[in-house]
């Protein structure tokens, strides 16, 4: 005898029956299992509380679908509409909202408390290029082994890096030691 499980492959097992667990599946037509529902017509007028079968007949007579829009309401609210068109419009809205989102990328840069001058200049060139491109730069400095006792050396290198790049960047997050890593975030200066 099996009870209710949720497996990693998005499959629901109920009494030995395997059912795909799609969260986005809407309650449409025959998937609606409520005895009575409040039916709303295609133009938004309420047709009243109907049995499930009567509501489905109303939708099928108009060659449309019945979609449960509020399953938690008392009684559940179902709307008569063209489900294919409804799904298309929902997907279109999601696509449009994703287009308007602006994701700022943070480029990581790792310094060392015992960094050489040439390596320091190379890291500086990379940081300048990324900041000019409008990206944020996260500077990490990891203290390994005995170097954790020499925090002031690492802080001095981090401060000199920030000072050299201060003509094009500002510090969004000041250098903070978290565990054995000191990190700071730099971003492009706002143009006036």
pLDDT digits (tens, 9 = 90+) for 132-173: 888 889 999 888 888 888 788 888 988 899 899 888 888 888
List, in order of start, the domains of the chain with CATH numbers: 5-84 (3.10.20.80), 106-188 (3.30.110.10)
Average pLDDT, the chain: 80
Decide: helix, strand or coil at residue 33.
coil
Residue 10 has pLDDT above 80, yes or no: no
pLDDT digits (tens, 9 = 90+) for 41-92: 888 888 888 888 888 888 888 888 888 888 888 888 888 888 888 888 888 8
pLDDT digits (tens, 9 = 90+) for 18-45: 434 443 457 788 888 888 888 888 888 8
Long-range contacts of 168-174 (CB under 8 A, 24+ apart): 168/128, 168/131, 168/132, 169/127, 169/131, 169/137, 172/136
Task: Look at the pTM and tell me if it is higher than 0.75.
Answer: no
145 in Cβ contact with 121 (< 8 Å): no
Nearest to 169 by CA among 126, 122, 117: 126
Per-residue confidence (pLDDT) for residue 24, from 0 to 100: 47
């Amino acid at each position: 005898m099996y009870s209710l499980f949720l497996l990693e492959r998005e499959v629901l097992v109920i009494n030995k029956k395997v059912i795909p667990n799609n969260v986005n599946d809407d309650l449409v037509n025959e998937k609606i299992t409520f005895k009575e529902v409040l039916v709303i017509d295609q133009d938004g007028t309420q047709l009243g509380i109907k049995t499930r079968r009567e509501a489905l007949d109303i939708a099928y007579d108009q060659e449309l679908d019945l979609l449960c829009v509020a399953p938690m309401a008392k009684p559940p609210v179902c709307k008569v509409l063209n489900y294919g068109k409804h799904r298309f419009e929902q997907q279109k809205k999601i696509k449009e909202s994703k287009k308007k989102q602006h994701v700022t990328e943070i480029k990581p840069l790792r310094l060392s408390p015992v960094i050489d001058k040439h390596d320091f200049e190379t890291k500086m060139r990379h940081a300048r290029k990324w900041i000019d491109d409008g990206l944020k730069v996260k500077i990490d400095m990891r203290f390994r082994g005995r170097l954790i006792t020499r925090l002031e050396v690492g802080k001095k290198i981090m401060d000199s890096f920030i000072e050299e790049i201060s003509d094009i960047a500002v510090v969004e997050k000041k250098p903070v030691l978290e565990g054995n890593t000191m990190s700071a975030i730099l971003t492009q200066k706002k143009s006036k």
